[in-house]
Amino acid sequence: MRVFWTADGGDRSTVRHCAFRLDAEDAIIGFCADGQALKLATNTFRVELPRGPYEIHPDLLALAAWTVVAPWTRRRVVFDRPVSAELAGAIEEGWGIEAGPVGGSPRAGSRLAISYSGGADSAAVAAILPDAPFVHFQRVSHPRVPNRWSHYRADVLARLAAETGRELTIARSDLEFTLAEPRPGYPEHHAVAAGALLLADELGLGGLALGYELGSRWLGGDRYLHRYTPDNPMWAPHGAWGQAFAAAGVPLVLPVGGVSEAVTMRLALASDLGERVRWCLRGIDGPCGTCGKCLYKELIHAAVERRPLRTGVTPERGVARKWRRPPPYGGQEMVEYGCARVPGIEDTVFGEAAGFLNATEESTAWLERCYPPAVEEIPGPWRGRVRDFMAAEVGFMSDDEARRVETWGIGTAEATPELTAETASGVS
Ligand SMILES: [Zn+2]
Protein backbone atom coordinates (compact mmCIF):
# COMPACT_ATOMS: atom_id res chain seq x y z
CA MET A 1 0.00 0.00 0.00
CA ARG A 2 1.28 3.45 -0.91
CA VAL A 3 -0.21 6.63 0.54
CA PHE A 4 0.08 10.17 -0.83
CA TRP A 5 -1.24 13.41 0.68
CA THR A 6 -1.64 16.73 -1.11
CA ALA A 7 -3.25 19.97 0.02
CA ASP A 8 -5.07 22.86 -1.55
CA GLY A 9 -7.15 25.72 -0.30
CA GLY A 10 -6.71 29.22 1.00
CA ASP A 11 -6.74 31.12 4.25
CA ARG A 12 -10.23 30.09 5.30
CA SER A 13 -10.06 26.34 4.71
CA THR A 14 -7.71 23.62 3.61
CA VAL A 15 -8.58 20.48 1.73
CA ARG A 16 -6.27 17.57 2.32
CA HIS A 17 -6.48 14.97 -0.42
CA CYS A 18 -5.32 11.42 0.14
CA ALA A 19 -4.71 8.95 -2.67
CA PHE A 20 -3.58 5.40 -2.10
CA ARG A 21 -2.36 2.65 -4.38
CA LEU A 22 -2.58 -1.04 -3.64
CA ASP A 23 0.50 -3.21 -4.02
CA ALA A 24 0.37 -6.52 -5.87
CA GLU A 25 -0.32 -8.49 -2.69
CA ASP A 26 -3.13 -6.18 -1.52
CA ALA A 27 -6.75 -6.96 -2.34
CA ILE A 28 -9.95 -4.97 -2.66
CA ILE A 29 -11.65 -7.22 -0.12
CA GLY A 30 -10.19 -6.54 3.29
CA PHE A 31 -11.17 -6.79 6.92
CA CYS A 32 -11.96 -4.24 9.59
CA ALA A 33 -10.35 -4.85 13.00
CA ASP A 34 -13.75 -6.18 14.13
CA GLY A 35 -13.66 -8.89 11.45
CA GLN A 36 -16.19 -7.37 9.06
CA ALA A 37 -15.34 -7.95 5.39
CA LEU A 38 -15.04 -4.68 3.47
CA LYS A 39 -14.97 -4.05 -0.26
CA LEU A 40 -13.06 -1.06 -1.55
CA ALA A 41 -14.93 1.42 -3.76
CA THR A 42 -12.30 3.99 -4.66
CA ASN A 43 -8.75 4.97 -3.78
CA THR A 44 -9.10 8.65 -2.95
CA PHE A 45 -10.67 10.66 -0.18
CA ARG A 46 -10.42 14.18 1.17
CA VAL A 47 -10.66 15.91 4.52
CA GLU A 48 -11.74 19.57 4.59
CA LEU A 49 -10.41 21.49 7.56
CA PRO A 50 -11.40 24.96 8.62
CA ARG A 51 -8.79 27.67 8.53
CA GLY A 52 -5.67 27.61 6.92
CA PRO A 53 -2.77 25.92 5.60
CA TYR A 54 -0.64 24.73 8.46
CA GLU A 55 1.98 22.14 9.14
CA ILE A 56 0.80 18.68 10.11
CA HIS A 57 3.18 16.18 11.72
CA PRO A 58 3.84 13.25 9.34
CA ASP A 59 2.66 10.75 11.98
CA LEU A 60 -0.76 12.41 12.04
CA LEU A 61 -1.10 12.30 8.26
CA ALA A 62 0.05 8.68 8.26
CA LEU A 63 -2.29 7.56 11.02
CA ALA A 64 -5.26 9.38 9.50
CA ALA A 65 -4.61 7.53 6.25
CA TRP A 66 -4.10 4.28 8.13
CA THR A 67 -7.62 4.50 9.62
CA VAL A 68 -8.85 4.22 6.04
CA VAL A 69 -6.38 1.94 4.27
CA ALA A 70 -5.56 -0.60 7.01
CA PRO A 71 -8.23 -3.13 5.97
CA TRP A 72 -6.78 -3.53 2.49
CA THR A 73 -3.09 -3.62 3.41
CA ARG A 74 -1.45 -7.04 3.50
CA ARG A 75 2.30 -6.68 3.89
CA ARG A 76 3.61 -3.13 4.00
CA VAL A 77 2.56 0.49 3.89
CA VAL A 78 4.74 3.22 2.41
CA PHE A 79 3.84 6.78 3.37
CA ASP A 80 4.92 9.79 1.34
CA ARG A 81 6.99 11.27 4.18
CA PRO A 82 8.96 9.68 7.00
CA VAL A 83 7.08 8.61 10.13
CA SER A 84 8.50 8.20 13.62
CA ALA A 85 10.01 4.89 14.67
CA GLU A 86 7.30 4.83 17.35
CA LEU A 87 4.43 4.88 14.87
CA ALA A 88 6.12 2.45 12.48
CA GLY A 89 6.73 0.12 15.42
CA ALA A 90 3.09 0.29 16.51
CA ILE A 91 1.90 -0.64 13.03
CA GLU A 92 4.44 -3.44 12.80
CA GLU A 93 3.48 -4.81 16.20
CA GLY A 94 -0.26 -4.33 15.87
CA TRP A 95 -0.78 -5.55 12.33
CA GLY A 96 2.41 -7.33 11.28
CA ILE A 97 2.71 -4.69 8.56
CA GLU A 98 5.99 -3.06 7.67
CA ALA A 99 5.57 0.73 7.76
CA GLY A 100 7.91 3.44 6.52
CA PRO A 101 9.95 5.27 5.60
CA VAL A 102 11.13 5.84 9.15
CA GLY A 103 12.71 9.11 10.27
CA GLY A 104 11.95 12.11 12.41
CA SER A 105 10.77 12.40 15.96
CA PRO A 106 7.41 11.57 17.53
CA ARG A 107 4.95 14.32 18.37
CA ALA A 108 3.28 15.24 21.64
CA GLY A 109 0.46 17.51 22.75
CA SER A 110 -1.47 18.22 25.91
CA ARG A 111 -5.13 19.11 25.30
CA LEU A 112 -7.96 16.64 25.26
CA ALA A 113 -10.66 17.02 22.60
CA ILE A 114 -13.90 15.08 22.29
CA SER A 115 -14.80 13.34 19.06
CA TYR A 116 -18.41 14.49 19.22
CA SER A 117 -21.03 12.71 17.12
CA GLY A 118 -24.10 14.20 18.78
CA GLY A 119 -25.26 10.81 20.07
CA ALA A 120 -25.97 9.98 23.71
CA ASP A 121 -22.59 8.36 24.32
CA SER A 122 -20.52 11.32 23.19
CA ALA A 123 -22.90 13.76 24.90
CA ALA A 124 -22.23 11.83 28.13
CA VAL A 125 -18.50 12.29 27.52
CA ALA A 126 -19.16 16.00 27.05
CA ALA A 127 -20.98 16.09 30.40
CA ILE A 128 -17.96 14.53 32.10
CA LEU A 129 -15.51 16.94 30.43
CA PRO A 130 -17.34 20.27 30.28
CA ASP A 131 -14.31 22.29 29.09
CA ALA A 132 -13.09 19.98 26.35
CA PRO A 133 -13.45 21.21 22.77
CA PHE A 134 -15.40 19.19 20.21
CA VAL A 135 -14.21 17.86 16.89
CA HIS A 136 -17.12 16.73 14.75
CA PHE A 137 -16.81 14.49 11.69
CA GLN A 138 -19.26 15.39 8.94
CA ARG A 139 -19.87 13.11 5.99
CA VAL A 140 -19.88 14.81 2.58
CA SER A 141 -20.31 13.35 -0.91
CA HIS A 142 -17.43 11.92 -2.89
CA PRO A 143 -16.83 13.32 -6.38
CA ARG A 144 -16.35 9.85 -7.87
CA VAL A 145 -18.94 7.81 -5.98
CA PRO A 146 -22.70 8.28 -6.38
CA ASN A 147 -24.38 9.03 -3.04
CA ARG A 148 -27.25 6.59 -2.61
CA TRP A 149 -27.42 7.54 1.06
CA SER A 150 -28.72 11.06 0.72
CA HIS A 151 -31.25 10.34 3.50
CA TYR A 152 -28.28 10.39 5.90
CA ARG A 153 -28.55 13.95 7.16
CA ALA A 154 -25.00 14.55 8.31
CA ASP A 155 -25.67 18.29 7.94
CA VAL A 156 -28.32 18.11 10.68
CA LEU A 157 -25.87 16.54 13.12
CA ALA A 158 -23.28 19.21 12.32
CA ARG A 159 -25.85 21.94 12.98
CA LEU A 160 -26.82 20.38 16.31
CA ALA A 161 -23.13 20.16 17.28
CA ALA A 162 -22.75 23.87 16.48
CA GLU A 163 -25.77 24.72 18.63
CA THR A 164 -24.13 23.25 21.73
CA GLY A 165 -22.10 26.42 22.16
CA ARG A 166 -18.92 24.43 22.78
CA GLU A 167 -15.64 25.19 21.07
CA LEU A 168 -16.20 23.19 17.90
CA THR A 169 -14.17 22.26 14.86
CA ILE A 170 -15.91 20.43 12.04
CA ALA A 171 -13.90 18.23 9.70
CA ARG A 172 -15.83 17.35 6.56
CA SER A 173 -14.81 14.23 4.70
CA ASP A 174 -15.90 11.81 2.00
CA LEU A 175 -13.74 9.00 3.36
CA GLU A 176 -16.77 6.80 4.04
CA PHE A 177 -17.27 6.44 0.31
CA THR A 178 -14.00 4.51 -0.02
CA LEU A 179 -16.19 1.65 1.17
CA ALA A 180 -18.41 -0.06 -1.42
CA GLU A 181 -19.68 -2.91 0.73
CA PRO A 182 -21.42 -3.46 3.02
CA ARG A 183 -22.23 0.25 2.54
CA PRO A 184 -20.49 3.59 2.89
CA GLY A 185 -19.06 3.94 6.37
CA TYR A 186 -15.82 4.10 8.28
CA PRO A 187 -13.37 1.51 6.93
CA GLU A 188 -12.04 1.25 10.48
CA HIS A 189 -14.09 2.61 13.37
CA HIS A 190 -11.16 4.97 14.00
CA ALA A 191 -11.66 6.77 10.69
CA VAL A 192 -14.12 8.99 12.57
CA ALA A 193 -10.96 10.48 14.09
CA ALA A 194 -9.24 11.24 10.77
CA GLY A 195 -10.19 14.91 10.97
CA ALA A 196 -9.21 15.16 14.64
CA LEU A 197 -5.82 13.67 13.80
CA LEU A 198 -5.18 16.21 11.06
CA LEU A 199 -6.21 18.97 13.48
CA ALA A 200 -4.21 17.64 16.42
CA ASP A 201 -1.22 19.96 15.93
CA GLU A 202 -3.45 22.98 15.32
CA LEU A 203 -5.46 22.25 18.48
CA GLY A 204 -2.47 21.04 20.53
CA LEU A 205 -4.12 17.69 21.18
CA GLY A 206 -2.54 15.17 23.50
CA GLY A 207 -5.57 12.89 23.66
CA LEU A 208 -8.87 12.19 21.96
CA ALA A 209 -11.97 11.24 23.94
CA LEU A 210 -14.51 8.99 22.24
CA GLY A 211 -17.97 7.82 23.30
CA TYR A 212 -17.36 4.09 23.22
CA GLU A 213 -19.12 2.61 26.23
CA LEU A 214 -18.99 -0.62 28.22
CA GLY A 215 -20.62 -2.71 25.48
CA SER A 216 -18.17 -1.62 22.78
CA ARG A 217 -15.05 -1.60 24.95
CA TRP A 218 -15.54 -4.66 27.18
CA LEU A 219 -18.48 -6.77 26.05
CA GLY A 220 -17.56 -7.15 22.41
CA GLY A 221 -20.74 -5.45 21.32
CA ASP A 222 -21.63 -4.12 17.91
CA ARG A 223 -20.93 -6.46 15.07
CA TYR A 224 -18.24 -8.74 16.43
CA LEU A 225 -17.74 -11.14 19.35
CA HIS A 226 -20.40 -10.82 21.98
CA ARG A 227 -18.18 -11.73 24.89
CA TYR A 228 -15.79 -10.18 27.39
CA THR A 229 -12.90 -8.69 25.40
CA PRO A 230 -10.24 -7.14 27.64
CA ASP A 231 -7.79 -7.23 24.71
CA ASN A 232 -10.19 -5.57 22.29
CA PRO A 233 -7.98 -4.66 19.30
CA MET A 234 -9.91 -1.45 18.67
CA TRP A 235 -10.34 0.10 22.10
CA ALA A 236 -7.92 -1.48 24.60
CA PRO A 237 -5.00 0.88 25.27
CA HIS A 238 -2.64 -2.06 24.67
CA GLY A 239 -4.48 -3.10 21.49
CA ALA A 240 -3.26 -2.35 17.97
CA TRP A 241 -5.26 0.86 17.55
CA GLY A 242 -4.65 2.06 21.09
CA GLN A 243 -0.91 1.72 20.56
CA ALA A 244 -0.98 3.45 17.17
CA PHE A 245 -2.87 6.48 18.51
CA ALA A 246 -0.57 6.68 21.54
CA ALA A 247 2.47 6.57 19.23
CA ALA A 248 1.10 9.58 17.35
CA GLY A 249 0.72 11.50 20.63
CA VAL A 250 -3.08 11.30 20.60
CA PRO A 251 -3.94 8.43 22.96
CA LEU A 252 -7.53 7.24 22.88
CA VAL A 253 -9.51 8.18 25.97
CA LEU A 254 -12.79 6.42 26.77
CA PRO A 255 -14.43 8.35 29.63
CA VAL A 256 -17.60 6.23 29.40
CA GLY A 257 -15.81 2.95 28.71
CA GLY A 258 -16.92 1.63 32.09
CA VAL A 259 -20.62 2.41 31.87
CA SER A 260 -23.51 1.04 29.86
CA GLU A 261 -25.72 2.82 27.37
CA ALA A 262 -28.34 3.18 30.09
CA VAL A 263 -25.91 5.36 32.04
CA THR A 264 -24.75 7.36 29.02
CA MET A 265 -28.40 7.93 28.07
CA ARG A 266 -29.21 9.14 31.58
CA LEU A 267 -26.17 11.41 31.75
CA ALA A 268 -26.73 12.80 28.25
CA LEU A 269 -30.41 13.58 28.72
CA ALA A 270 -29.77 15.22 32.08
CA SER A 271 -26.95 17.37 30.70
CA ASP A 272 -27.20 20.79 29.11
CA LEU A 273 -26.82 19.05 25.74
CA GLY A 274 -29.87 16.87 26.39
CA GLU A 275 -32.11 18.73 23.95
CA ARG A 276 -29.62 18.24 21.14
CA VAL A 277 -28.76 14.58 21.59
CA ARG A 278 -29.42 12.73 18.34
CA TRP A 279 -28.43 9.17 17.49
CA CYS A 280 -30.32 8.93 14.22
CA LEU A 281 -28.89 10.12 10.90
CA ARG A 282 -32.23 10.13 9.12
CA GLY A 283 -34.41 12.64 10.91
CA ILE A 284 -34.37 16.38 10.32
CA ASP A 285 -36.48 17.91 13.09
CA GLY A 286 -35.99 14.91 15.36
CA PRO A 287 -35.00 11.26 15.21
CA CYS A 288 -36.86 9.38 12.44
CA GLY A 289 -38.40 7.00 14.96
CA THR A 290 -38.63 4.20 12.43
CA CYS A 291 -35.08 2.91 11.87
CA GLY A 292 -33.44 0.05 13.76
CA LYS A 293 -31.23 2.36 15.72
CA CYS A 294 -34.15 4.54 16.85
CA LEU A 295 -35.99 1.40 17.99
CA TYR A 296 -33.01 0.13 19.99
CA LYS A 297 -32.32 3.54 21.55
CA GLU A 298 -36.01 4.00 22.38
CA LEU A 299 -35.88 0.75 24.36
CA ILE A 300 -33.01 2.16 26.44
CA HIS A 301 -34.65 5.59 26.70
CA ALA A 302 -37.94 4.10 27.89
CA ALA A 303 -36.09 1.92 30.41
CA VAL A 304 -34.18 4.89 31.81
CA GLU A 305 -37.45 6.84 32.16
CA ARG A 306 -39.35 3.74 33.30
CA ARG A 307 -42.20 4.36 30.92
CA PRO A 308 -43.89 2.32 28.16
CA LEU A 309 -42.22 2.06 24.76
CA ARG A 310 -43.15 4.84 22.32
CA THR A 311 -42.70 3.61 18.78
CA GLY A 312 -44.61 3.34 15.55
CA VAL A 313 -42.56 0.33 14.50
CA THR A 314 -44.80 -2.69 14.05
CA PRO A 315 -43.68 -6.33 14.40
CA GLU A 316 -43.85 -6.94 10.64
CA ARG A 317 -41.28 -4.24 9.91
CA GLY A 318 -37.84 -5.46 8.88
CA VAL A 319 -36.14 -3.62 11.75
CA ALA A 320 -38.38 -5.43 14.25
CA ARG A 321 -37.90 -8.90 12.83
CA LYS A 322 -34.61 -9.65 14.53
CA TRP A 323 -36.23 -9.27 17.94
CA ARG A 324 -38.46 -12.25 17.17
CA ARG A 325 -35.46 -14.53 16.77
CA PRO A 326 -33.58 -15.96 19.76
CA PRO A 327 -30.42 -14.28 21.09
CA PRO A 328 -27.56 -13.46 20.83
CA TYR A 329 -28.27 -9.87 19.84
CA GLY A 330 -25.87 -6.98 19.29
CA GLY A 331 -26.05 -4.82 22.40
CA GLN A 332 -27.74 -7.68 24.21
CA GLU A 333 -26.94 -6.36 27.66
CA MET A 334 -29.05 -3.31 26.91
CA VAL A 335 -31.87 -5.37 25.46
CA GLU A 336 -31.90 -7.31 28.71
CA TYR A 337 -31.85 -4.06 30.66
CA GLY A 338 -34.72 -2.61 28.65
CA CYS A 339 -36.84 -5.75 28.71
CA ALA A 340 -36.46 -5.93 32.50
CA ARG A 341 -37.60 -2.33 33.02
CA VAL A 342 -40.05 -1.18 30.35
CA PRO A 343 -43.65 -1.61 31.53
CA GLY A 344 -45.73 -3.77 29.19
CA ILE A 345 -42.69 -4.96 27.20
CA GLU A 346 -44.43 -8.28 26.46
CA ASP A 347 -46.91 -6.50 24.19
CA THR A 348 -44.26 -4.70 22.13
CA VAL A 349 -41.94 -5.69 19.28
CA PHE A 350 -39.48 -6.79 22.00
CA GLY A 351 -42.02 -9.18 23.54
CA GLU A 352 -40.49 -12.34 22.17
CA ALA A 353 -36.93 -11.22 22.93
CA ALA A 354 -38.02 -10.49 26.51
CA GLY A 355 -39.34 -14.03 26.73
CA PHE A 356 -36.06 -15.50 25.50
CA LEU A 357 -33.92 -13.35 27.77
CA ASN A 358 -35.90 -13.58 31.00
CA ALA A 359 -33.97 -10.66 32.47
CA THR A 360 -34.89 -9.00 35.75
CA GLU A 361 -34.03 -5.68 37.37
CA GLU A 362 -31.75 -7.58 39.71
CA SER A 363 -29.98 -9.49 36.92
CA THR A 364 -29.30 -6.23 35.08
CA ALA A 365 -28.50 -3.95 38.04
CA TRP A 366 -24.76 -4.12 37.23
CA LEU A 367 -25.49 -2.04 34.10
CA GLU A 368 -26.22 1.00 36.26
CA ARG A 369 -22.71 1.27 37.69
CA CYS A 370 -19.17 1.82 36.45
CA TYR A 371 -16.68 -1.02 35.79
CA PRO A 372 -13.56 0.15 37.71
CA PRO A 373 -10.84 -1.19 35.33
CA ALA A 374 -12.23 1.09 32.62
CA VAL A 375 -11.25 4.12 34.70
CA GLU A 376 -7.81 2.73 35.47
CA GLU A 377 -6.92 2.54 31.79
CA ILE A 378 -7.69 6.21 31.15
CA PRO A 379 -4.42 8.11 30.60
CA GLY A 380 -3.04 9.79 33.73
CA PRO A 381 -3.84 13.44 32.97
CA TRP A 382 -7.60 12.77 32.79
CA ARG A 383 -8.10 9.70 34.99
CA GLY A 384 -8.78 11.54 38.23
CA ARG A 385 -11.52 13.69 36.74
CA VAL A 386 -13.32 10.71 35.30
CA ARG A 387 -12.94 8.74 38.53
CA ASP A 388 -14.35 11.61 40.58
CA PHE A 389 -17.25 12.04 38.19
CA MET A 390 -18.09 8.33 38.26
CA ALA A 391 -17.86 8.21 42.05
CA ALA A 392 -20.21 11.18 42.39
CA GLU A 393 -22.72 10.57 39.59
CA VAL A 394 -22.75 6.83 38.89
CA GLY A 395 -21.02 4.68 41.53
CA PHE A 396 -18.74 1.72 40.99
CA MET A 397 -19.58 -1.95 40.51
CA SER A 398 -19.04 -4.35 43.38
CA ASP A 399 -16.72 -7.32 42.81
CA ASP A 400 -19.75 -9.50 42.04
CA GLU A 401 -21.03 -6.98 39.52
CA ALA A 402 -17.61 -6.65 37.90
CA ARG A 403 -17.68 -10.42 37.49
CA ARG A 404 -20.81 -10.00 35.36
CA VAL A 405 -18.67 -8.02 32.93
CA GLU A 406 -15.81 -10.52 33.06
CA THR A 407 -17.98 -13.56 32.41
CA TRP A 408 -20.18 -11.91 29.76
CA GLY A 409 -20.85 -14.25 26.83
CA ILE A 410 -18.48 -16.91 28.06
CA GLY A 411 -19.83 -20.36 27.35
CA THR A 412 -22.29 -19.10 24.77
CA ALA A 413 -21.87 -19.58 21.05
CA GLU A 414 -20.06 -16.88 19.16
CA ALA A 415 -22.43 -14.66 17.30
CA THR A 416 -22.16 -14.40 13.59
CA PRO A 417 -21.15 -10.88 12.64
CA GLU A 418 -24.34 -8.99 12.30
CA LEU A 419 -24.51 -5.98 10.09
CA THR A 420 -26.86 -3.26 11.10
CA ALA A 421 -27.41 0.25 9.92
CA GLU A 422 -26.13 1.67 13.16
CA THR A 423 -22.73 -0.03 13.05
CA ALA A 424 -22.02 1.33 9.61
CA SER A 425 -23.52 4.74 10.19
CA GLY A 426 -20.91 5.98 12.60
CA VAL A 427 -23.24 7.68 15.04
CA SER A 428 -22.72 6.47 18.55
ZN1 LIG B 1 -33.97 6.73 13.15
Q: What is the pLDDT of residues 220-240, one digit of tens each?
A: 866 566 789 999 999 999 999
Going from the Cα of 341 to the center of ligand 1, the distance in angstroms, rounded, reads: 22
Is there a contact between 228 and 219 (Cβ–Cβ < 8 Å)?
A: yes
**Segment 283-302 mean pLDDT:** 89
Q: Looking at the predicted structure, is the pLDDT value of residue 412 above 60?
A: no
Cα(152) to ligand 1 centroid in Å equals 10
CA of 137 to the centre of ligand 1 (A): 19
CB 100 within 8 A of CB 243: no
**What per-residue string of b and e applies to 314-336 under the rule 16 or more CB within 10 Å gives b?**
eeeeebbeebeeeebbbbbbbbb
DSSP string for residues in 250-279: --EE-TTTTS-HHHHHHHHHHSTTGGG---
Question: Cα(119) to centroid of ligand 1, in Å?
Answer: 12
- Residue 376: pLDDT over 70: yes
pLDDT at 200: 97
Q: What value does the mean pLDDT of the chain take?
A: 92
Gap from CA of 290 to ligand 1 centroid (Å): 5
Sketch the domain layout of the chain as residue ranges. Answer: 261-365
**Rounded CA gap, 125 and 222, in Å?**
19
* 89 SS3 class: helix
Question: Distance (Å, rounded) from C-alpha 227 to C-alpha 324?
Answer: 22
Q: Is the CB of residue 46 less than 8 Å from the CB of residue 64?
A: no
Please answer whether residues 338 and 299 qualify as being in contact, where contact means their C-beta atoms are separated by less than 8 angstroms.
yes
- Distance (angstroms) between ligand 1 centre and the Cα of 97 equals 39
CA of 229 to the centre of ligand 1 (A): 29
Long-range Cβ contacts of 309-316 (<8 Å, 24+ apart):
309/342, 309/344, 309/345, 309/348, 309/350, 311/348, 311/349, 313/289, 313/349, 314/349, 315/349
Residue 350 DSSP SS3: coil
Q: What is the mean pLDDT of residues 202-208?
A: 97
In the reported structure, the alpha carbon of residue 316 is separated from the centroid of ligand 1 by a whole-number distance in angstroms of 17
- Ligand 1 centroid – CA 295 distance (Å): 7
Cα-to-centroid distance, 277 and ligand 1 (Å): 13
Output the pLDDT for position 417.
Answer: 44
In angstroms, what is the span from residue 314 Cα to ligand 1's centroid?
Answer: 14
| Residue ranges near ligand 1 (ion) with Cβ within 5 Å | 280, 282, 287-288, 291, 294
Cα of 279 vs centre of ligand 1, distance in Å, is: 7
Q: Is 147 helix (H, G, I), strand (E, B) or coil?
A: coil
Amino acid at 135: V
